[in-house]
Chains A and B, each alone.
Chain A
Amino acid sequence: MMKIKTPRSGRVRRALEKRAPKLVETGKKTLILQGTKTSGTLNEVLSEIYHLKKGGAVRFTRKNDNIRPFESGGETSLEFFSLKTDCSIFVYGSHSKKRPNNLVLGRMYDHHVYDLVEVGVENFKSIESFTYDKKMAPRVGSKPFVAFVGEGFENVDELKHLKEVLLDLLRGEVVENINLAGLDRAYVCTAISSNKVYLTHCALRLKKSGSVVPRMELVEVGPSMDLVVRRHRLPNEGLRKEAMKTAKDQPKKKIKNVSSDAIEGTIGKIYIPDQKVGDVALPNKAKGVKRERREAKKKEANERASKKQKEESE
């Protein structure tokens, strides 16, 4: 016995439709939470990341001692939170002697853990420690420029993964139209060494230049920190393939031997198999054979013909 449950109010229906999977996706929401122990710097880091992503982030302030992202059983709580808050990226902070100021950046696919990167935070400078002209402070929710510098991002596996995760985390909403007057922030990530990345948040100042394009000036505004890559977990091949599928990726069924030409239209190729000249049966004429044989063959043919006549007549 099955019962159909539909929401009774339009508000609930609209909320459910917002959470439904879409063909083309706009940005992911971020979940920021912490583990059993956090340090002062880590608390600041988490709250500042939350401020940077104010529109699309959820911050949990209680400690969660049953979340261990890298262990097989420790992800159930994370997946539950992701399901309830509809967040697909999470930032989990914890502090221990072995891993001080630890941040785990992770992504979800269908509310199950897709991939994880664990980084340590060093040399953290908070927003308050920067002095700048308050007028050019970037506004909440503006789309940022993201810049990655360094060959490490190309060569080192872990940094490549970190680059992808950082892009996903920092880019904000995916929009079609953008107002050029509203561009006011940029994130700069530099690969200092093979496992360290310097991340900083800057405000943009557009200065008049000769052409339409203004001259960009970056002023460090927001938090800046060194990220030291500790561990990472790449997704399974099958899961990755499924997650990377887009609507346009449906393979077009190729019709063989058909091509289209701009001038002539559709052209088809027909392949004819080789003629087996040697195996073709020759006619009974046998002109190339000597006379006696020729006559003998003729006799045979006549006899056969007469035999057939006899049978037919009978």
Chain B
Amino acid sequence: MEMETETETETETETKSQKPFHVDVGNLLAFNPFHNFPSLPASRDELVKECLQEGTKLVQSVADSLFNLPSTEDVDGPLVKLPTPTTKLPREKHLPKPKPPTKWEEFAKKKGIKNRKKDKVVWDEQTGTWKRRFGYDCANDDKDIPIIEAKMTDEPGVDPFAKRQDDKKKRVEKQEKNRLQNLKQAAKIGALPSHVQLAATSLPITGTQAPPKKVTKDVLGNVAGMAATSTASGGKFDRKLPGEKPAKKKGKHRKFLPVVEGSGIGSQEKEQTENVLNKLISKHSHEILNVGKAVTMYNVKKEKKARNKRNQEGKLSSATNKLKPKKQLHKKTGKKGPGSSKKGKAT
């Protein structure tokens, strides 16, 4: 058997009846493009048998090249380094773009600044011990400075300790801003690191800076439905976007009475007509007039009259005149009572 054991390219084994198979060892794949069924075998079993035979030949050819690769002994068995697969298959995700250099990196490259290896612990002058570089109980922390000597350039009335803290805060904020800018630049070219997400906390400025209120899914759906049906033809002939669901409530909401009606409690139609007639004839007129409210209004009016009489004996009448227009308004609404309630009920 003549065989070429190559690592990168396809191997063609010219073993079986001088017909080459396409073998891709990296994928453990073998393809026989020369076989065909001149006539389909009569029974299923024969077909299966022939398929298995051909399959065996192909698998054998792959195994030939596979077992001849250099192998290392492992605990479970011989370990073999597979060559790269030759059949090209499409990727599942796009190629990752390399990270663009940050502003500091560009500057450092230009100036020739090299990164220096830093120690984990630093000598702290104050306590005379080795403390960590940053974090809890770090060396040269702002909190631990007992005395700050005043300089000639210091303004009186400025707290130097607070000033140091503010300076540090500003530095941290500046660093955060720079980091955000670097990430935005990376996001612009599509090379954002996988664990970072840039989230917009608020919409671009259109008025107040208040963040928009969170709207629920049903409210949005209702609004969308209303917008969709607000065309001249009720949104019937509008082209729908892919994935858009049909409107939930089509047309005007109408409530119909059941076709088969019962009697007694179930006679909704009787009740309906009764209500309408009663409103028209005002049979139960006390339902239209709010008796309690009318009584309190009358009582209040009477009390105020009595009070005014008492006040008039002591005070000028001008004070009471001021109250009069308001009283008249109340009176007006009282008269309008039956009319307004009718408006509400007749639908």
Confirm or deny: B201 has a beta carbon within 8 angstroms of a beta carbon on chain A. yes
Interface bits B187-205 vs A (CB < 8 Å: 1, else 0)? 0000000111111111000
Taking CB atoms, residues of chain A closer than 8 Å to B67 are 180, 212-214
Nearest Cβ in chain A — how far from B45, in angstroms?
A: 11
Interface flags, A244-284, vs B, CB<8A=1, else 0: 11110000000000000000000000000000000000000
Question: Which of B27, B36, B60 touches A171 (beta carbons < 8 Å)?
Answer: B27
Interface bits B161-175 vs A (CB < 8 Å: 1, else 0) = 000000000000000
Cα A242 to Cα B98 in complex, Å, equals 17
Count residues on chain B whose CB falls below 8 Å from chain A CBs. 66
Kindly identify which residue among A17, A153, A213 contacts B31, using a CB–CB cutoff of 8 Å. Answer: A153
Inter-chain contacts of A3 with B (CB < 8 A) = 198-201
Residues of chain A with a CB closer than 8 A to B60's CB? 215-216
Determine chain A's interface SS by DSSP, over half rule: mixed
Name which residue of chain A comes closest to B29, CB basis.
Answer: A146
Write out the residue numbers on chain A whose beta carbons fall within 8 Å of the beta carbon of B242: 72-73, 76
Do the beta carbons of B198 and A146 come within 8 Å of each other?
A: no
Q: Provide the bound-state CA to CA distance between A72 and B44, in Å.
A: 39
**Closest Cβ neighbor of A114 among chain B residues:** B90
Whether A192 touches B200, Cβ cut-off 8 Å, given contacts A73-B242, A245-B91, is no
* Interface members, chain A 159-198 (any B CB < 8 Å): 163-164, 167-168, 171, 174-183, 186, 188, 190, 192-193, 198
Interface set, chain B 40-55, CB cutoff 8 A to A: 40, 44, 47-48, 51-52, 54-55
Is the pair B78, A179 in contact by a Cβ cutoff of 8 Å?
A: yes
Find the residue from A88, A178, A193, A245 having the highest chain B CB count within 10 A.
A178
Taking a contact as CB atoms closer than 8 A, the residue among A17, A175, A180 that contacts B195 in the complex is A17
Residues of B within 8 A of A154 (CB): 33
B82 CB contacts on chain A under 8 angstroms = 175-178
Among the interface residues A13, A25, A151, A216, which one has the most CB atoms of the partner chain B within 10 A?
A216
CA distance A19 to B193 in the complex (A): 12
B64 in the interface (beta carbon within 8 A)? yes
> With A and B bound together, what is the CA distance between A214 and B64 in angstroms?
8
Q: Are the CB atoms of B64 and A213 closer together than 8 Å?
A: yes
How many angstroms between the C-alpha atoms of A147 and B47 in the bound complex?
16
Please indicate the chain B residues that have their CB under 8 angstroms from the CB of A181 in the complex. 76-78
Hey, which chain B residues are within 8 Å of A147, CB to CB? 29-32, 54-55, 58-59, 62
Does A49 make an interface contact (CB < 8 A)? no
Chain A residues lying within 8 Å of B94, measured Cβ to Cβ, are 21, 109-110, 242
Q: Residue A244 contacts which of B56, B81, B90 (CB distance < 8 angstroms)?
A: B90
A-contacting 9-mer, from B126-134, B178-186, B290-298, B338-346: B178-186
A151 CB contact (under 8 Å) in B33, B80, B92:
B33
Among A4-12, A40-48, A294-302, the one that faces the other chain is: A4-12
Chain B's closest residue to A196 (CB) is B40
Q: Shortest Cβ distance from B291 into chain A, in angstroms?
A: 58
Kindly state the separation between the CA atoms of A188 and B31 in the bound complex, as whole angstroms: 10
Interface size class of A (residues with CB under 8 A): 35 or more
CB contacts under 8 Å to B, within A1-37, are 1-7, 12-13, 16-17, 19-23, 25, 28
| CB nearest to A239 among chain B residues | B90
Q: How far is the CA of A176 from the CA of B7 in the complex (A)?
A: 13
B196 to chain A, nearest CB (A): 6
A163: chain B residues at CB < 8 Å are 31
Question: Could you tell me if A146 and B27 are in contact, using CB atoms closer than 8 angstroms?
Answer: yes
CB <8 Å contact, A216 and B40:
no
**Interface contact A167-B87, CB-CB below 8 Å:** yes
Name A residues whose Cβ lies closer than 8 Å to a Cβ of B: 1-7, 12-13, 16-17, 19-23, 25, 28, 72-73, 76-77, 88, 107-110, 114, 123, 143-154, 163-164, 167-168, 171, 174-183, 186, 188, 190, 192-193, 198, 200, 202, 204, 212-218, 220, 224, 235, 240, 242-247
Q: List 29 A-B contacts (CB under 8 A).
A: A2-B200, A4-B197, A5-B198, A13-B195, A16-B195, A20-B96, A25-B91, A73-B242, A108-B92, A109-B93, A145-B30, A148-B32, A150-B32, A151-B33, A151-B35, A167-B29, A171-B29, A179-B74, A179-B80, A180-B67, A181-B78, A188-B54, A190-B35, A190-B51, A192-B40, A200-B52, A214-B63, A218-B52, A247-B95
Seed contacts A1-B202, A25-B91, A183-B28; 18 additional CB < 8 Å A-B pairs? A2-B184, A3-B198, A21-B94, A23-B95, A146-B28, A146-B30, A147-B62, A149-B32, A153-B31, A167-B29, A175-B82, A177-B82, A180-B67, A204-B59, A216-B60, A218-B56, A240-B90, A245-B91
**3 nearest interchain CB pairs?**
A181-B77, A73-B242, A20-B194
